[in-house]
Structure 1
Amino acid sequence: MTALPQPFDLTGKLAVVTGARRGIGLAIAEALAAAGADIVAVSANLEASGSEVDKRVTALGRRCTALRADFAERAAVAELADTLLSLDRPVDILVNNAGTIARAPAADHTDEDWDQVLAVNLTSQFTLTREVGRHMLDRRQGKVIFTASLLSFQGGINVPGYTAAKSGIAGLTRALANEWAGRGVNVNALVPGYVATDNTRALREDDERYTAILDRIPAGRWARPEDLGGAAVFLASAASDYVHGALLPVDGGWLGR
């Protein structure tokens, strides 16, 4: 009897996940490993061994390689790209998840905060994708996944740099998909809703804002990082081979409200 295809199986694939030390990146790395992928975990302060992502990935029987990179520094991103392209196997899946946020009213938002947020959340992601993507194009196969945001669609409050960067990610996702879809490379983005991570701690500690946000989420709760795992596996797998330039909300229904 002929075996049925397994479109969500990532066995034999190598996935790079940036911002993998904690939060959404950690959850995505674990989900991809559970689907069969080996993981290259990247973060600015990732331990060389014994990290939480290393423990979770290896517990699933997959390999985990730890790399450090400061995504605010162009030279560090270029060095990371060189390291990835010198590995003993090609990168099949690139998850651009590294990010930072600076909260301040626009009138008080400093140039330094603006520059850092744009560098980490947008510029570095284009640079890394360009370098890794070039080799995916040569092989005519690959999956690129960005982490966008609800603020790719909305303005937010007191986060002008973050909103600008995440709006840029939405545009970059579509622009790369337009160029690369016909050359075997899928480029898409996850759109997380309000997720309980360190980046949203300030909101969750503000009772008024927390309640206002929760009251608007049809699912009736904030997301957990692991809620992003299944959608990431979908976009990384053969199940999404005809999906290009999509921004996939995982938001508890927020955008449909």
Structure 2
Amino acid sequence: MADPLDFSGKTVLVVGGSSGIGNGIAHGFRERGAEVHVTGRRPTAEDYAGEKGSDLAGLIFHSLDVAQAGAVESIVLPAGLDVVVLCQGTVRYGREEFERPGWDAVMEVNLNSLMDCARIVRPKLAANGGSLIIVSSVGAYHAMIGNPAYAASKAGAASLVGSLAQAWAGEGIRVNGIAPGLVPTKLTKVTTDDEQRAAGIISRIPAGRMGTPQDMAGAALFLASPLADYVVGQTIRVDGGMTLS
């Protein structure tokens, strides 16, 4: 029997795959044989050299700043696409999200650009019976003091999974999502770099640890594989049980 997690001959695009969770997901597919394209907002792959959480070796890099409305229209996509993972995200601290500029900046990246990207990749995924995976956050399911735009945008992202799944399943596109728990990345370092805050959160995680980009890659590989052929419109919480209570 063929290995359902062998992606040899498949082409994968990870938007936001230059670092953090997206980078871990990208390498998960690369290690299983896929040709993997990633996007990042900097001009070249070399601009990420030496940065913690960013490894572009073996990946095909495309510069794309999804914070700029309409920017996705200019990206040159691979000839065929089998899997697309939308993993872009941003956050604003210092109560910036309570004001319109901060709110708009977060919404543009975390929600508007998801629909822009999904719209662009839809024809290629339909042609190959492909999989679209939207990465949101467990922040979609609870209040986040100080970050109303982040929480609302992630709730919107989780909702978008169901809407697109229902709309596009008939075209052969399976749409699902992943909601990560606490994973050390550039966006979460305000928490993960604070030993006291991090310890407090870990104490409430049944698994007893923070997540890793590799944990998220495992979920993405499953959702994109034939093992999940009958999984449609679901967002899997990959949080070590953090949201159980």
**CA offset at residue 46 of structure 1?**
5.8
* 2:29 corresponds to: 32
C-alpha distance in structure 2 between counterparts of 1:183 and 1:75, whole Å: 25
C-alpha distance in structure 1 between counterparts of 2:92 and 2:163, whole Å: 26
C-alpha distance in structure 2 between counterparts of 1:105 and 1:75, whole Å: 27
Kindly indicate whether the alpha-carbon contact (under 8 Å) linking 1:11 and 1:35 is maintained by their aligned counterparts in 2: yes
* 1:103 corresponds to: 93
**CA offset at residue 176 of structure 1?**
0.5
Cα RMSD (Å) of the superposition?
Answer: 1.8
The residue type paired with residue 71 of structure 1 is: V
**CA offset at residue 207 of structure 1?**
4.4
Relative to its length, the structure with more helix (as a share) is 1
The residue type paired with residue 85 of structure 2 is: V
Q: TM-score, normalised by structure 1?
A: 0.87
**CA offset at residue 241 of structure 1?**
1.1
Kindly indicate whether the alpha-carbon contact (under 8 Å) linking 1:140 and 1:183 is maintained by their aligned counterparts in 2: no
* 1:161 corresponds to: 149
Q: Where does structure 1 lack aligned partners over 5 or more consecutive residues?
A: 59-63
* 1:61 corresponds to: none
Kindly indicate whether the alpha-carbon contact (under 8 Å) linking 1:20 and 1:42 is maintained by their aligned counterparts in 2: yes
C-alpha distance in structure 2 between counterparts of 1:162 and 1:154, whole Å: 11
C-alpha distance in structure 2 between counterparts of 1:192 and 1:8, whole Å: 21
- Number of equivalences: 240
Q: Where does structure 2 lack aligned partners over 5 or more consecutive residues?
A: none
**CA offset at residue 119 of structure 1?**
0.5
> Does residue 203 of structure 1 match 2:191?
yes
* 2:73 corresponds to: 78
Q: Percent identity?
A: 34
Kindly indicate whether the alpha-carbon contact (under 8 Å) linking 1:21 and 1:46 is maintained by their aligned counterparts in 2: no
Q: TM-score, normalised by structure 2?
A: 0.91
C-alpha distance in structure 1 between counterparts of 2:137 and 2:173, whole Å: 22
Which of 87, 94, 119 is equivalent to 2:108? 119
C-alpha distance in structure 1 between counterparts of 2:55 and 2:186, whole Å: 16
The runs of 4+ residues in structure 1 deviating greater than 6 Å are: none
